[in-house]
Amino acid sequence: MEVILLGIYSFFVWLIFIKLKWLPWNIGTQVTVVIIPIVGLAALILLLNIFAPSSSDVRVVKYSVPIVSQVRGRVLEVPVEEGNRLVKRGEVLFRIDPTPYQLDVNTLEAQLVSMQGSQRELEEQAKGAQAKIEESQSRAREISARLDLTRKRVAQYRELVKTGAGTRFDLERAEADALEQKGQLDAARNAEAQAQASLGQIKQKLGATVKGEFSQVAQVRAQLENAKWELEQTTTRSPCDCFVVNLQLRPGGFVGAVARSHVMTLIEAGGQVVAFYNQNELHQVEPGNEVELAMKTIPGRVIKGKVDSVVWAQGQGTFLPTGDLPSALSVQNQPAGKFAVKFDIAERDQAVFLAAGAAGDAAIYTDNLHAVHIIRKVILRVGSYLNYLILKLH
């Protein structure tokens, strides 16, 4: 751009001083002609870098998602392809043989039904034992009351026999009734004890309760839920809108639930465009400022956007938690690091494919001195068309 401006300036100098000779071409005018472009270009460059800063260090950053199978098995199907075909969220990536996992689910479902039946049977037995305990306790209370009354009569008959007012027969009959009732009371208490022991055994078989279910049933249900989850994991689906790269999986292969055993890698369809600027170029930059990008992978096209944020931090401003003391000398010897600026792509250009790692140029247009923005836009567009040039012989 500077060359173009100098060319235009030189044309007008030639036209005014040489061709038309409107002004004399002497020492004074020659010095003036030389000083004007020097001062003008210096001022233009300073203003451009303050109010329309540019960066040639632009990167398209996208996150990768390594895919690892959650379960082991033989691969039956890999319906995706490596390349530029977009894989939607929830789309099937691969399937493995679900037969052993389906068998586990069937087995545990049968066990759960059997355990639930056994639980209901034991619960009925427990209810019967509890009813028997209550019946035995009620009978024991009734007999105990009658026994107390009989013992009082025995005591009364003994007093009457001693005084001669009662008969020996009545006393013996009362004593016989007391012995009989004592036997009945013991029998009722023995029946209660047996029922209590039976109830204890039943409760021991049932075990503790977990969320309203007995522990054995809850344990089988938990195993069944895990088996169903493993069965679902035989079909692996895409967690995002992504592109498939590094596809190593083929039908017939075997995958195992091993960490870091990646079968493919997904690259997210979206991403983040970041540019790095010198520290003194950002004092006028604010979120929402207009941005234009000229990517090397898309020659001749300018992509619009806005400033999302400035990342006011970089590696040189942090100390790692190590046992070594920071050295002031080593910090001073490092050149001042650049700060990253994140961009949001405009809606009209969101469909443009930006490859991960693509580089280019960026210009930020601040809210001041809009006149110089035109020059920066021209420079950016010229640079965009220059991306068509491939200057190499090999």
Helix axes 168-206, 99-163, angle to 10 degrees: 170
pLDDT tens-digit profile, the chain (394 residues): 567 767 777 877 787 777 777 888 888 877 787 888 788 778 878 888 899 999 999 999 888 888 888 899 999 999 998 877 889 999 999 999 999 999 999 999 998 888 878 777 777 777 887 888 888 888 888 888 888 888 888 888 777 777 777 777 777 787 788 888 888 888 888 887 887 887 777 676 666 665 666 777 888 889 999 999 999 999 999 998 888 988 888 898 888 877 667 888 888 887 889 999 998 899 899 999 999 999 999 999 999 999 999 998 877 766 667 666 666 555 555 556 789 999 999 988 888 888 888 999 999 999 988 888 988 898 899 889 989 998 887 7
Residue type, 308: D
Predicted confidence at residue 335, as pLDDT, reads 58
State residue 293's pLDDT score. 94
Q: Are 259 and 276 in the same domain?
A: no
Does 330 map to a domain? no
Question: At 230, which amino acid appears?
Answer: E
Residue 259, pLDDT score:
65
243: containing domain = 64-97+238-268
**Runs of H (alpha helix) within the chain:** 2-13, 27-51, 99-163, 168-206, 215-232, 328-333, 371-386
Residues 108 and 201 reside in one and the same domain: yes
Same domain, 162 and 193: yes
For residue 91, CA distances in Å to 41, 257, 291, 353 come to 56, 21, 35, 21
Residue 328 falls inside a structural domain: no
Supply the Cα-derived Rg of the chain in whole angstroms. 47
Which of 337, 334, 268, 281 is CA-nearest to residue 307? 281
Q: Is residue 252 assigned to a domain?
A: yes
The alpha carbon dihedral of 198, 199, 202, 203 has a sign of negative
Total residues found in the chain within this entry? 394
The domain total for the chain is 4
